[in-house]
Homo-oligomer: A and B are copies of this chain.
């Protein structure tokens, strides 16, 4: 990741302390870091997450994943098709309209790599934000998210 210092413009920035923008930029930084890590195994963050979720919930269906991730049914289709096309997971019909998802052996190996990369990524923040701060941060984020959570579909 680029470690260059932030550009200094010398202007007054009245929105720098706004929570919305602080969250948006921190989120972008963290997701960029995770994306850089996962790019090493040819996956995007959302794809790595799907592998992790299918690994933890073998036989789950597309719509359930979409609901968990806040991704709409229509947008799950190319994501799942892409992972299936790479041979990382398989779809097998369960009741005629739902498709159960399972990791292939290749997919399981990829999932293990994803977990290692994500764990290493989390460890960076364990070092950056000592104990109490990290707990307060997680609790605050949880409260914010729950305050406005919306059904994805």
Contact = CB atoms under 8 A, between A and B. Distances in A.
Interface stretch (A72-80, A87-95, A132-140): A132-140
A146 B128 CA distance: 11
A12 interface: yes
A2 to B, nearest CB: 4
A56 interface: yes
Interface in A9-44: 9, 11-15, 17-34
A122 B13 contact: no
Interface residues of A, number: 68
A136 to B, nearest CB: 4
A96 interface: no
A15 B49 contact: yes
Contacts of A82: none
A9 B33 CA distance: 29
A67 B128 contact: no
A17 B3 CA distance: 26
21 contacts: A2-B148, A14-B53, A15-B118, A17-B138, A19-B30, A19-B122, A19-B125, A19-B134, A19-B141, A20-B27, A20-B121, A23-B26, A23-B31, A26-B145, A27-B27, A29-B145, A30-B144, A33-B148, A128-B143, A133-B139, A136-B140
Interface of A: 1-7, 9, 11-15, 17-34, 45, 49, 52-53, 56-57, 60, 64, 67-68, 70, 118, 121-122, 125, 128-129, 132-134, 136-152
